Structure 1
Amino acid sequence: MSGREVAIPDLAARTRDRLEALVSALLEEPDPPTGHRTRREIWERDILDSLAALALPAVNRARTAVDLGCGIGFPGLPLATALPTTHFTLVDSVARRLQVAANLARRAGLRNVELVQARIEDFARGPAREQFALATARALGPVVTVLELAAPLLAVSGALVIWRGRLDPAERDRVERVAEQLGLVTAEIRKTLPFEGAKHLHLHVFSKQGPTPDRFPRRPGLARKRPLA
């Protein structure tokens, strides 16, 4: 099945063409670090799942965005394709993943993407701190971990979008307690159906209401090894 046979959002023809180029480039990777190997799988589980965030006003308003733990470029590259006036910074610590992301961005003709190889904890303690209107994370880790890593990079009034399934009540309680420590509040939890057969997919949206204390993020690895709650 070609990518154009998959139901995709109402996007400009140029955007659709660039997304198709991105998919083709990924299919041509000799050893891509992804389990999605068919055109349909990539369209549905990488492209459409990423583009689900376009339903959020905060995503469309942002002019500076950071994609954390971007891997080979999802959701950052599809969103950068759909939002050409937004500058996306994609951050990952693994060079091989960023090499693939760079090739995909080049093949799609994206000029609004910057790739950074760094630990997020180190990146968040540099000039990028509190500089972004939007942060995204699709496969970075537990929500409480993502909150600690992302909050310091967001400007006050910025938004964080996390791709995740449903949270049970105990996890939701932990998330709320951690968010409060970091200057974040839950703004919305939106169920998504980006493709036929998708199950339990949600966008967890947080708004930054105040500055994140200087002690966050803690040193590399602690957000995952010793979560705040």
Structure 2
Amino acid sequence: MYFDVMNQSTEALGLSFDRSQYEQFMKYKDLLKEWNEKINLTAITDDEDIISKHFIDSIQAFKFSELKKAKTVIDVGTGAGFPGLPIKIIQKDVKLTLLDSLNKRLNFLKAVTQELGISDVEFIHSRAEDGSRIQSLRDTFDVAVSRAVANLTLLTELCLPYVKVGGYFIALKGPAVEEEIEDARYAIRVLGGKIHEIIEVHIEGTDLKHNLVVIQKVKSTPQMYPRSSSAIKKSLITSR
């Protein structure tokens, strides 16, 4: 019953969408609701809201057209798999890495990918600041994505080290990001990035408005970053 709205959304993004992908999303929805009764995955449990606020919202990342060319994507702090797994369902040939600090969330995501018949997904159980110290993960990915609820300065320190030079970090942020972006500019530069684009996103049929903050990695992140979790908690990277 939600095929038309999902098809309309993907079509607007210039993406192909078929019944098999739709069935994968519906299985994903059902598993999310089933597992949510056992472990805390989402406060959003209404079918229609899951479709709009999780699935359609996640694939809005494709508004940044370079994502369509990405071969490797890491979702940092993936939680219940957003936005990484919807990106993978749409773009089947991307190699996806899902990183989260809670193993029970990764167990859920492993069950989802198995049930949906999705392959070429790697699961990393790690805090974001520790994962990018793993040599095989640092400076590796075409694109890092994150929908984590965190300050942009903090998110950039956690996510940009995973991205290879020339790649991008896409932060899925709320409607009011101007001040946050201004506050983050110094840190973004220190971490080897630059603001590439800010894309406003509106989900049709809802009052939801978001922004994609796209940061391009223009040089390697200094080895001292990301800092330890205790150092990060004490202070953000700032020029002041």
Smaller-chain TM-score range? Answer: over 0.9
Change over 3 Å in CA distance of 1:209–1:37 after alignment to 2: same
CA distance in 1, matches of 2:72, 2:42: 27
How far is 1:168 from its partner?
5.4
Look up the SS of the partner of 1:203 in the other structure: strand
Instruction: Tell whether the 8 Å contact from 1:141 to 1:224 is kept in structure 2 after alignment.
Output: no
Instruction: Tell whether the 8 Å contact from 2:151 to 2:180 is kept in structure 1 after alignment.
Output: no
Instruction: Tell whether the 8 Å contact from 1:48 to 1:195 is kept in structure 2 after alignment.
Output: no
Aligned amino acid, residue 151 of structure 1: L
Instruction: Tell whether the 8 Å contact from 1:163 to 1:204 is kept in structure 2 after alignment.
Output: yes
How far is 1:141 from its partner?
1.2
How far is 1:5 from its partner?
5.3
CA distance in 1, matches of 2:161, 2:234: 19
Aligned amino acid, residue 119 of structure 1: R
Verify: 1:27 aligned to 2:33, yes or no.
yes
RMSD, aligned α-carbons: 1.7
Look up the SS of the partner of 2:42 in the other structure: coil
State the Cα deviation string for residues 146-181 of structure 1 (Å, max 9, x = none): 100111111000111111124455432221111100
Instruction: Tell whether the 8 Å contact from 1:73 to 1:101 is kept in structure 2 after alignment.
Output: yes
Instruction: Tell whether the 8 Å contact from 1:36 to 1:42 is kept in structure 2 after alignment.
Output: yes
Verify: 1:13 aligned to 2:19, yes or no.
yes
Task: Find the partner of 1:80 among 78, 88, 107.
Answer: 88
More contact order relative to length (CA 8 Å, sep ≥ 6)? 1
Report the counterpart of residue 174 of structure 1 in structure 2: 183
Pick which of 66-75 and 31-40 moved more.
31-40
Aligned amino acid, residue 65 of structure 1: V
TM-score by length of 1: 0.93
Pick which of 72-81 and 32-41 moved more.
32-41
Report the counterpart of residue 77 of structure 2 in structure 1: 69
Change over 3 Å in CA distance of 1:224–1:193 after alignment to 2: farther
Report the counterpart of residue 133 of structure 2 in structure 1: 125
Change over 3 Å in CA distance of 1:45–1:221 after alignment to 2: farther
Change over 3 Å in CA distance of 1:34–1:214 after alignment to 2: same
CA distance in 1, matches of 2:4, 2:215: 34
Report the counterpart of residue 103 of structure 2 in structure 1: 95
CA distance in 2, matches of 1:90, 1:177: 28
Question: Alignment identity in percent?
Answer: 25
Instruction: Tell whether the 8 Å contact from 1:71 to 1:97 is kept in structure 2 after alignment.
Output: yes
Pick which of 84-93 and 214-223 moved more.
214-223
State the Cα deviation string for residues 166-218 of structure 1 (Å, max 9, x = none): 44554322211111001111111111112422333111111011111111011
CA distance in 2, matches of 1:199, 1:22: 22
Aligned amino acid, residue 112 of structure 1: D
Look up the SS of the partner of 1:6 in the other structure: helix
Change over 3 Å in CA distance of 1:225–1:99 after alignment to 2: farther
CA distance in 1, matches of 2:184, 2:169: 13
TM-score by length of 2: 0.88
How far is 1:222 from its partner?
3.1
Instruction: Tell whether the 8 Å contact from 2:152 to 2:181 is kept in structure 1 after alignment.
Output: no
Report the counterpart of residue 213 of structure 1 in structure 2: 222
